[in-house]
Amino acid sequence: MASAPFLRESKGKLVLDVLVSPRSKANKIVGQHGNRLKIALKAPPADGKANKALIAYLADYFGITKKDIAIISGQSSREKSVVFSADSADKIINRLQSFQIE
């Protein structure tokens, strides 16, 4: 398992803890914020738009389908936990190992 503090295993599935910053200029990973991965999103936090944008961004970033991602906590919060399907775990770990935290 990856040693990043924002990535963990729960009930046999890979979980990513994120801090979302909505209404940003671009969709991008900003870096680490405490034990969470901070992600900037252009979408506003209203009507679930930021949640949908987060799932779409993560699917694109990790090269997986949106159906392989689900928000398991924090649907109405900036702090969220995202679970990935077991089939996508290797892609997630490999992609995050190349991510450099500054």
Amino acid at 2: A
Tokens of 67: 């159906």
The whole-number pLDDT of residue 99 equals: 66
Q: Is the CATH number 3.30.1200.10 carried by domain 7-96?
A: yes
pLDDT at 25: 97
CB 29 within 8 A of CB 4: no
Q: What is the pLDDT along the chain (102 residues), one digit of tens a residue?
A: 446 889 999 888 999 999 999 999 999 999 999 999 999 999 999 999 999 999 999 999 999 999 999 999 999 999 999 999 988 888 888 888 776 554
The pTM for the full model equals 0.90
CA angle 81, 51, 19 (to 5 degrees): 45
The residues spanned by each domain of the chain are 7-96
Helix, strand, coil share (%) of the chain residues, nearest 5: 30, 35, 35
